[in-house]
Amino acid sequence: MSEERLAAFEAKIARGELIEAGDWMPDEYRRQCLRLIVTHANSELMGALPEREWIPRAPGLQRKLSVLSKVQDEIGHAQMIYRVAEDLGRPLGITREHMLEDLIAGKAKFHNVFTYPAPTWADVGVIAWLVDGAALETQGALLRTSYAPYARILRRVCAEEAIHLKHGEDIVLTLAAGTRVQRAMLQDALTRWWQPLLHFFGPPDEQSPNTELTFRWRIRLMTNEQLRQSFLRKYVPKVQALGLAIPDAELRQDPATGDWLYGDPDWNEFWRVVKGGGARTEDRLRLRRMTREQQLWVRDAMATPTSAA
């Protein structure tokens, strides 16, 4: 019986149909989707922190308002994506509380780029332009994922990410057209972020049964390297057009394929950061823990039924 169900499920996927939360799905499909979606939700929640530090310091009211809205959007993305994860996790006994507890205990993954410091205003521009640009590559490819509730929520998320990217591009263009000091600050920020940006998409996919399953079930549709190349094709020319130097002496485009060949991005550093060794991992998790404790009374108040007068 379960083999018949699995065959029917796989036939459905092969026909390009989508899977809804209430449909039958193999436990492994549920687990793979959950792993991807929880990591995404955690990354939205933690991703708001580097820019949050800049809300009071952004130059001028308009910039403060745009950073504030972006931070608010990212937290909103986290809430919507945790909601999708909650439905997937329920049959496995995994609640939103578990997901958040695992995150603040340092047991769950979130994206490597959100463990780095953002020491200057130019970092805020580079994050919003290029990190959100990289996120849009990954999330744009997932719009066609087979898990329908995730695909639906990503339509809204991607629309907002596209606005974040414009906000970042505007900061970068202003600095690029600014004084010598502003251009130098921009160049330093780009130099700091280039390696984390190459790491953003993860190492080239190894041939593992996990990878094979996620592609066969159309949970993911593009490999890490395909996503990285799509990002490089769009952004390398834009960065170079601004007269900025990309800190990679080996970077060149293969004339036959159009692919960008890049120097060794130090995958050991990537693994060190992913395993919790990022420069700001610990204090950003500490901040998240503190906020969660301080907001406990609100959650308790919401959960307590009001007595009838």
Kindly tell me which residue out of 164, 192, 199, 228 binds Fe ion, with binding defined by CB under 5 A: 164
Q: Residue 132's closest CA among 172, 162, 174?
A: 162
Kindly tell me which residue out of 50, 161, 168, 190 binds Fe ion, with binding defined by CB under 5 A: 161
Q: Would you state the structure tokens that stand for residue 110, as one six-digit string? A: 């979130």
- Kindly tell me which of 114 and 147 has the beta carbon lying closer to Fe ion: 114
Q: Residue 40's closest CA among 210, 204, 192, 220?
A: 220
CA 130 vs CA 136, 169, 173: distances in Å: 9, 8, 13
- Kindly tell me which of 50 and 278 has the beta carbon lying closer to Fe ion: 50
What is the nearest approach in angstroms of Fe ion to the Cβ of residue 77? 4
What is the nearest approach in angstroms of Fe ion to the Cβ of residue 65? 16
Total interface residues for Fe ion by CB under 5 A: 6
Neighbours of 41 (CB within 10 A): 26
Of the candidate spans 49-57, 153-161, 224-232, 260-268, the one that interacts with Fe ion by CB under 5 A turns out to be 153-161
Report 28-87 residues binding Fe ion (CB under 5 A): 44, 74, 77
205 binds Fe ion (CB under 5 A): no
User: CA 268 to CA 219: how far, in whole Å?
Assistant: 27
Residue type for position 33: C
Torsion of CA 65, 288, 93, 156, to 10 degrees: 10
- Kindly tell me which of 44 and 137 has the beta carbon lying closer to Fe ion: 44
- Kindly tell me which of 72 and 240 has the beta carbon lying closer to Fe ion: 72
- Kindly tell me which of 164 and 288 has the beta carbon lying closer to Fe ion: 164
Distance of alpha carbon 145 from the chain centroid: 16
Kindly tell me which residue out of 53, 86, 123, 132 binds Fe ion, with binding defined by CB under 5 A: 132
Q: What is the DSSP string of 146-172?
A: SBHHHHHHHHHHHHHHHHHHHHHHHHH
What is the nearest approach in angstroms of Fe ion to the Cβ of residue 162? 9
Report 266-295 residues binding Fe ion (CB under 5 A): none
- Kindly tell me which of 137 and 161 has the beta carbon lying closer to Fe ion: 161
What is the nearest approach in angstroms of Fe ion to the Cβ of residue 142? 13
User: CA 309 to CA 299: how far, in whole Å?
Assistant: 22
Q: What residue ranges bind Fe ion (CB under 5 A)?
A: 44, 74, 77, 132, 161, 164
